[in-house]
Chain A
């Protein structure tokens, strides 16, 4: 079965510092990869996705992620954290052959310190 691992359930960063959230998947076939953000008491919002093509993808709010097949990773970064980035972030994978249903990582809660 496919699985998604997010290293670190909580990450604390200072405002203006680099945000790095790690995501690794386990499957022999590269999946489609997604990062979603969940603000308090809200649903999930898509940040970015990778399906095919360029392995560095840019998303909303200044986030980007790079797909590295050799490392089975899809880490999320933002050069400079803003207070509004405080939220929970979920990495997810899907497989077209499996109907595009999503399998989520455990989530990483980001705290931004002033």
Chain B
């Protein structure tokens, strides 16, 4: 399995500000994924982050709102920009162990926007 860590684990932010979430994997992974889990709901994929290329966003998510960086094969960041209370969610990153089809998840970042 892969060990994935995220920072911060939680934050409370003011409307209109931005927060950058970091995701670190203990092994090299080609693709990393960012998911959003709104309160009481399931997970929705925001985007796929590939090293060396721009992230691929799912329908309903745009780069201006959720810019993503992927500087190397073990690290990625997701920024939640110009936040509103509707952005209050748990944000999770995941990555498959190289050579397998199984994704492992970080512990999540619990974001509250006031």
Contact = CB atoms under 8 A, between A and B. Distances in A.
> A and B, one complex?
yes
Interface of A: 32, 34, 36, 41-46, 49, 51, 90, 94, 96, 99-107
Nearest to B9: A41
B108 to A, nearest CB: 5
B17 interface: no
B45 A103 contact: yes
A29 B102 CA distance: 19
Contacts of B102: 34, 46, 49
B101 A102 contact: no
B33 A43 contact: no
A105 B43 CA distance: 8
Contact of A43 (B31, B42, B92, B96): B92
A36 B94 CA distance: 13
B42 A100 contact: no
Nearest to A6: B42
B33 A51 contact: no
Contacts of B105: 36, 43-45
What is the size category of the interface that chain B forms with chain A?
Answer: 20 to 34
A34 B94 CA distance: 14
A84 B53 CA distance: 42
Task: Enumerate the 4 nearest inter-chain pairs by beta-carbon distance, A residue then B residue, closest first.
Answer: A43-B107, A44-B105, A43-B105, A104-B42
A34 B100 CA distance: 13
A34 B96 CA distance: 13
B48 to A, nearest CB: 6
A110 to B, nearest CB: 15
Interface in B24-63: 31, 33, 35, 41-45, 48
B103 A102 contact: yes
B48 A105 contact: no
A101 B48 contact: yes
Given A43-B106, A43-B108, A101-B33, A51 B45 contact: no
Contact of B43 (A32, A42, A51, A90): A90
